[in-house]
Amino acid sequence: MRHLARVQIIKTVAPIPGKDRIGYITFNNCNWRVIGEKFLKSGDKVIYIEYDSILPEIPAFEFLRKRCWSEKYRGFKIGCMKMFNMVSYGLLLTHESVKDIIPAADWEHYQEGDDLTGLLQVRKIEDDEVVVSQKARPPFIPKTDETRAEVLPFLFDEQWQELPVYCTVKVDGQNVNFALYHGRFSISSRNSLLYDEELDKAKQELIPENRRRFHEASVFHEMACKYALASTIDAYGLINCVVQCEQAGPGIQGNKMGLADNTLFIFNLFDIQEQRYRSWEAIKQFSQNAEIPTVPFIEETTFHWKTIDELYEYSRGTYPNGHAREGVVIRASGAGNYLPLPEADMNGCWSFKIINPVYLLKG
């Protein structure tokens, strides 16, 4: 689970030229930056709310109604904004804002890094996806919550400099999971199980000739037909494995890549048995055999970034059609059949994403 609301200790409050009441704030224990009240000072204990979060419609957050209310999400949507040439990533709250939820006596006991997501009823936008199935995503399929660079305070420690990594473009699409497990083939969205049949039946009906018919059901089924995925995954021997992809194209997330047809982009092979993610080499080999593209590859390099600003600069760029790309994913490449195991707060493997500020502000 991502920690959307955490107790943080202010590190710095930088002045904003010409503004007496607000400053640019950083924290001790993460790389987020946010515009906040200038009366705050180094060492103050506050609450930080990540962007792309939804706060509930309760009195404590009514002050956000004019700027942040979302009818779609029936709550207050926290986003990014650019003010005075500075990007504010999320929302900073003082205890005064939530004193009706967290009594002063309790607030004294909270420590830096404590998670307040549940207490403040903060939701993640992705989890408000329209549920297209009454069945939940199977527990053996991991959620693809790529860790944000900003929540990794250790990222720029000396020990990671020169670590071999590979970098890929983050595709702005829709997550889909195709799994072959215990003789059954399944398709899952981020939250829902959409298809689950015996492998032989799946191989017979999820074929290119049935693409148009399955398009009526959903693009998830259509993609399984387009690439004959039940047969392809079985033929390649990916037993007890999950193929995780982004699907993008006309009608999906505004088709920011400008694709002429719905397309899959592979970014993960997850070994259910080992509970490990397969290496980039394994992903490339399957991609070539299955004739399914991977997410766009940028480069293999070593970890050489020294600050979050350097990563923001690296994330900038466009898709081939000129639209600002969503960002990049950076992963330790290591050696062997699997990706290196995660560090603290990383999800599943040593990797993280950095979102392009231009993309964020346009969104």
Does the pTM exceed 0.75?
A: yes
In a domain, 134, yes or no: no
pLDDT class of 218 with cuts at 50, 70, 90: confident
Model confidence at 214: pLDDT above 90: no
Q: In the chain, how many domains are there?
A: 2
pLDDT average, residue stretch 300-328: 96
pLDDT for the residue numbered 27: 97
For residues 201 and 335, state if they share a domain: yes
Q: Do 53 and 117 reside in the same domain of the chain? A: yes
DSSP-based three-state secondary structure for 210:
helix
Q: What angle do CA 280, 283, 286 make, to 5 degrees?
A: 150
Among 67, 95, 128, the domain-final residue is 128
Q: Are strands 174-181 and 241-248 parallel, antiparallel or unpaired?
A: antiparallel
Q: What is the pLDDT of residue 151?
A: 93
* Shared domain check, 167 and 102: no
What SS3 class is residue 340? coil
Who's near 232: CB < 8 A, 6+ residues apart? 289, 290, 292
Q: Does the residue 135 lie in any domain?
A: no
- Are residue 247 and residue 181 in the same domain, yes or no? yes
Residue pLDDT, tens place only, 73-131: 999 999 998 888 889 999 999 999 999 999 999 999 999 999 999 999 999 887 665 45
Q: Is the pLDDT of residue 173 over 80?
A: yes
Same domain, 154 and 278: yes
For the record, the structure tokens of 253 come out as 């997330």
Q: What are phi and psi of 103, to 5 degrees?
A: -60, 150
Q: Is residue 344 part of a domain?
A: yes
Q: How many CB atoms lie within 10 A of CB 154?
A: 11
- Model confidence at 71, in pLDDT bands (50, 70, 90)? very high
Please tell me whether residues 15 and 84 are part of one structural domain: yes
**Cα–Cα distance for residue pair 338/220, rounded to 1 Å:** 27
Instruction: Answer whether 152's CB lies under 8 Å from 346's CB.
Output: yes
Closest alpha carbon to 357 in 125, 116, 100, 85: 85
pLDDT at 217 over 80: no
CB 14 within 8 A of CB 33: no
Same domain (yes/no): 122, 229: no
Looking at the structure, tell me whether residues 123 and 154 fall in a common domain.
Answer: no
CATH number for the domain harbouring residue 259: 3.30.470.30
Question: Considering the domain boundaries, does residue 162 fall inside one?
Answer: yes
Residue 303's domain comprises 149-362
Residue pair 289/238 in contact by the 8 Å Cβ criterion: no
Query: 216 and 322 in one domain?
Result: yes
Confidence of residue 363 (pLDDT cuts 50, 70, 90): low
- Give the mean pLDDT of 276-305: 96
Share of the chain above pLDDT 90, in %: 82
> Which of 95, 128, 161 marks a domain boundary?
128
Q: Is the pLDDT of residue 293 over 70?
A: yes
With a CB cutoff of 8 Å and minimum separation 6, the contacts of 62 are none
Band of the pLDDT at 1, cuts 50, 70, 90?
A: low
With respect to residue 156, please indicate whether it lies within any of the assigned structural domains. yes
Q: Count helices and strands (H / E) in the chain.
A: 9, 21
Q: What is the DSSP string of 167-199?
A: EEEEP-SEEEEEEEETTEEEEE-SSBEEEEEEH
**pLDDT band per the 50, 70, 90 thresholds, residue 348:** confident
- Across all residues in the chain, what is the average pLDDT? 92
Q: Average pLDDT, stretch 10-33? A: 92
Residues 332 and 220 in one domain: yes
Q: Which pLDDT value is given to residue 133?
A: 54
- Identify whether residues 312 and 343 lie together within a single domain: yes
What percent of the chain stands above pLDDT 70? 97
Averaged pLDDT for residues 22-32:
94
**357: pLDDT strictly greater than 80:** yes
Q: Are residue 201 and residue 322 in the same domain, yes or no?
A: yes
Selection from 71, 25, 74 nearest residue 47 by Cα? 25
Among residues 128, 159, 189, the one where a domain terminates is: 128
The values of phi and psi at residue 175, to 5°, are -70, 140
187 has which bridge partners? 178, 195
Q: Does a structural domain hold residue 297?
A: yes
User: Which CATH number covers residue 75?
Assistant: 2.40.50
204 lies in a domain? yes
Q: Which of 238-252, 265-279, 332-346 has the lowest mean pLDDT?
A: 332-346
On the question of pLDDT at 356 being above 70, the answer is yes
Q: Is residue 144 part of a domain?
A: no
